[in-house]
A = this chain, B = another copy of it.
Amino acid sequence: MATKGQLTRQRILDEASPVFHRKGFLITTINDLLAATGMTKGNIYFHFANKEEIGLEVLRRARKTFKQFLDDSLRGETPGASLDNFFRHALERNRSKGFVGGCLFGNTALEACDNAPPFAELVGEVFAEWIGKLEETIEAAQDSGQVRQDLPASHLAELIVGTIEGGIMQSRLQKDAGPLQRALESLRILLELKV
């Protein structure tokens, strides 16, 4: 059973997470976190050394959640179906949030990569894992003739991640699923994806 201290720590992370997601890790202040958690400074600093430590822990938890999302969505009866399912779930995942907050990793990439090395490093690892998993599936889909074979799977995997991040960016700006949806539809055609 979790101790009272563990539960409080958990609660801080739960309440801080959406704030960081919407405002960013660098611009969120400790006062924002006090408001979100309803706790005192003393209480929060008993559990975490500083704001950065809370932020990094939130990002580590998000990484686990995203890994689970990849495992759940990048699957199907064939490699082509797996990729198609992943595209569908990626759109749904973002649409269900109304394109508010967007991709925590993409946000953090742009916010942190010249200013906050520990955050940038963590996001770099998440992207590498994401690309690695896509690459495996694309390679299998190329072998089964469900994805075009004239481009390396690693390049296509990297392209898909970039295109999804760029699509989320445009969809968030417009608060409309259209850009991400069209990007994924175009990718299906360009990759000659067969299910």
Contact = CB atoms under 8 A, between A and B. Distances in A.
Interface of A: 22-24, 26-27, 100-102, 106-107, 109-111, 113-115, 120, 123-124, 127, 150-151, 155-156, 158-159, 161-167, 169-170, 172-174, 179, 182-183, 185-187, 189-191
Contacts of A174: 124
Contacts of A162: 162-163, 165-167, 169-170, 179, 183
Nearest to A125: B173
Contact of A23 (B22, B115, B124): B115
Given A27-B27, A161-B166, A150 B189 contact: yes
Chain A interface, >50% SS class = helix
A45 B127 CA distance: 42
A107 to B, nearest CB: 5
A155 B93 CA distance: 22
Contacts of A120: 173
